[in-house]
Amino acid sequence: MTFGVQGFDPWTIVLTKYISPGHLFVNKNDQLDPQKRRLFTLLMLCTPIVFLVLLELLLRLFSYGGDQHLFITGPEKQISHYWMCNQNVGRRYFYMLDSTPSPPKDLFLKAKPENGYRIFVLGGSTTAGFPYSYNLMFPRILNFQLSELFPDRSIEVVNTAMSAVNSYTLLDFMDEIIAKEPDAILIYAGHNEYYGAMGVGSRESFGKNPTFIHLYLQLKKFKTFLLVRDAVGWLKKHLSKVTSRSTGIDPTNTLMARIVGEQQIPYKSGMYEQGLRQYERNLRRILEKARQHNIPVMLSELVSNVKDQPPFISVDIDSFPAAEKAFSIGQKLLRQGDVDDARIALTLAKDLDALRFRASEEMNEIIHQLGRQFNTPVVPMKSFFESHCEHKIIGNELILEHLHPNARGYFIMADAFLQTMKDDKFIADSWDSLRPPEEIISTWGWTELDTVSANLSIHYLKGGWPFQPDIAPNHALENYYPDTHAESLAVRILIDETFNLAAGHVAMAEHYESQHQYEQAYEEYRAAYYTIPHEIEFYEKAVRNLLRLNDMPKALTVLLLSQRYGRSAFTDRWAGLLLADAGRYREALPCLLRAHDQSPKDGQVLRYLSAALVAEGQVERARQLMTDIDSTASPISEQDKRELLYSVLLKSANESLQKKEYNKALPLLQRAHDMKESAFTAKWIGLIELNYGRIVEAAVLLQQAADLTPDDFEVRYNLCNAYIRLEQRENAVRILQEMEKLRPGFADPQNLRRRLAALKS
């Protein structure tokens, strides 16, 4: 179709319908009405603003990026009266990583108690407790220790630390922390200054201009800005793939490898000095904010492995030796016994390392300088660590790799903060004497699983860059074969994002419970509630195992500890019963009253409640309750008696097994097995029968145990031995094949393979 005038289009047709022909072409001398011109200009200016406002409202409506406040309401009903560290807050700072770090799930009350003392802790991965879980981070140790030292105070230690963050994040947190009425702020941070989010050498960078970075920290409050930032991040990642012709970041890379943007930052270079200025400037602003609100702050020296960790990257620098050479000289001086000069050389080697994963000594100088200027105490962390290391040079005795402490090191960190708090009269002018770290470690809530899991994490960390060439994938797990149940769980904790160490402790406890090893099960649940103190279920399960062990004093201790965080029908009942049994009627009474409300026909609760009421002078109320006891109490059922007898038999048998008194254990196990067959009883009866030479009986029981426990290697090894002794070649071959699947290439102290090969077909 044509319109007669060349160049006409549909828009022209539309315009001509509403505009008279005389106005279609405007004479250049014609002028718009001034009022209309102003309106037109205003509309032109407002259009993008209106668009941005509408976009912002739409993004907020759909909660783009999620809630990124530092603190959120406890997500479950029973903890909704608490603030919790937001697991999504890391998205403020990380837009190039597929998964972002998050702080511990620490809680603190929304309504601060009158007797409350609230401490916030700031830092990076060391402060977050890497490679352990929350039960071994030094702020958790502080919390339990301070609660023990000041039982009349409600102590809250809130750890906001995250991996791969630096002083920009700490500064960004300050206003939100100040709003939550802190009584003190503790800071251990500096190792991440160059490679942490927004650091001068970080992949998560917004340039090196501090003014621009602070502007970004303000703009990130707007969802529209986050949308633009994420789009830029997506574009940068995909352009990187195209230009490097790669498929992106190796998924086996550790966070350590993924966060680094600039691998070489030589000592005294421009980027090195810029990182120091960034650290000093941000730390100063943090201290100024705290001083404006009269909040005491405590800084800490930074420690790392100087004796046993060679430099990662050694480069030539004017006026200084290469880092590798300085390290070699330090090692040689140490072997010669020249300890003081060795310390100087090794420390210099650490500072000369061009890969800035360890804070230089100039950062410690900045910490002390600001401490003097702001009258802020500084924890002498170096001297605490050096006093526990050979030659007083920090090395593998306390550091797992380049800078993260081992478990003992974290207890020493907590002790250093405690000693400094005591010396500077935090909380109170006078303190009781502090327990040494070794004493605390022996009663702490941690188990073999914590150590195994941490060691595996370090093993995996050292399988990647910078401990290995950056061009190589991480092969650390390829030749790792777990030998124990704890090691199997550690692998799952490392590779399964839905399974953490707290869940691992529960799984380990359930394993022990299935083996009737109640003491070990209790220890796993204790580690779980040290990891997540507000989870009442962990306390309940710990107490159940203590009750099985008839350890009433320890059960009461755990119950009272649980009441700091919440209550349940179970904890109320047993706390009331055990407190009343100990004659502590005043403490027992509120627990028993709640337990009675929940279970009015519980005869045992009624009896103890009546006794508590009488002891507290409420005789009339006790008399009314006494009339209900006879009508509600009922005799123990036959089933309950049977379960009780079964538990007693297993407990006695387990005690005999631990003492290796097999002749005593056998009849107890047989009687229990007659009542209820289980893998535990079948296994141990079979092992004892095999030891006594009753091979046929042993094979029957061990086969039953093997059928009930598909992953028990020990059962199968002894069962294979039994079948070989019975010359049942087919059965022996079948079991040997199952063993090879469970543990390829297993050690064979009884020469099963050779003996089986010698059997005739």
What is the chain's mean pLDDT, rounded? 85
Same fold, 71-313+353-442 and 677-758: no
Residue 164 has pLDDT above 50, yes or no: yes
Please tell me the distance from the alpha carbon of residue 264 to that of residue 379, in angstroms, as a whole number.
30
Stated pTM of the model: 0.75
Residues 396-405 pLDDT 10s: 999 999 999 9
- Comparing 410-424, 593-607, 735-749, which segment has the lowest mean pLDDT? 593-607
Query: How confident is the model over 619-640, as a mean pLDDT?
Result: 61
Please tell me the distance from the alpha carbon of residue 326 to that of residue 542, in angstroms, as a whole number.
52
Q: What is the reported pLDDT for 91? A: 83
Alpha-carbon separation of residue 546 from 515, 540, 591 (angstroms):
15, 10, 19
User: Alpha carbon 683 to chain centroid distance?
Assistant: 36
Helix, coil or strand: residue 275: helix
- Comparing 82-86, 369-373, 659-663, which segment has the lowest mean pLDDT? 659-663
- Comparing 173-177, 303-307, 343-347, 657-661, which segment has the lowest mean pLDDT? 657-661
Residue 363 has pLDDT above 50, yes or no: yes
Cα–Cα nearest to 385, from 311, 299, 302, 298: 302
CATH architecture for segment(s) 71-313+353-442: 3-Layer(aba) Sandwich (3.40)
Q: What is the reported pLDDT for 216? A: 64
Q: What is the reported pLDDT for 646? A: 75
Please tell me the distance from the alpha carbon of residue 599 to that of residue 297, in angstroms, as a whole number.
49
Q: Does domain 486-632 have CATH number 1.25.40.10?
A: yes
More confident residue, 296 or 608: 296
pLDDT band at 52 (very low <50, low <70, confident <90, very high): low
How many Cβ atoms from other residues are within 10 Å of residue 436's Cβ? 11
Q: What is the reported pLDDT for 205? A: 65
Q: Where are the domains of the chain?
A: 32-62, 71-313+353-442, 486-632, 677-758
Please tell me the distance from the alpha carbon of residue 427 to that of residue 466, in angstroms, as a whole number.
43
Helix, coil or strand: residue 65: coil
Cis peptide leading into residue 131 (ω within 30°)? yes
Q: Is 11 left (phi over 0), alpha (psi -120 to 50) or beta?
A: alpha
Q: What is the reported pLDDT for 25? A: 44
Query: How confident is the model over 714-731, as a mean pLDDT?
Result: 93
Structure tokens at 750: 């009884």
Do residues 434 and 420 touch, judged by C-beta distance below 8 A? no
**CATH among 1.25.40.10, 2.40.400.10, 3.40.50.460, 3.40.640.10 for 677-758:** 1.25.40.10
HSE at residue 713, side-chain half, CA atoms within 13 A, is 14
User: Alpha carbon 395 to chain centroid distance?
Assistant: 24
Residues 443-495 pLDDT 10s: 899 999 999 999 999 998 998 888 887 767 788 888 888 889 999 999 999 98
Please tell me the distance from the alpha carbon of residue 503 to that of residue 493, in angstroms, as a whole number.
9
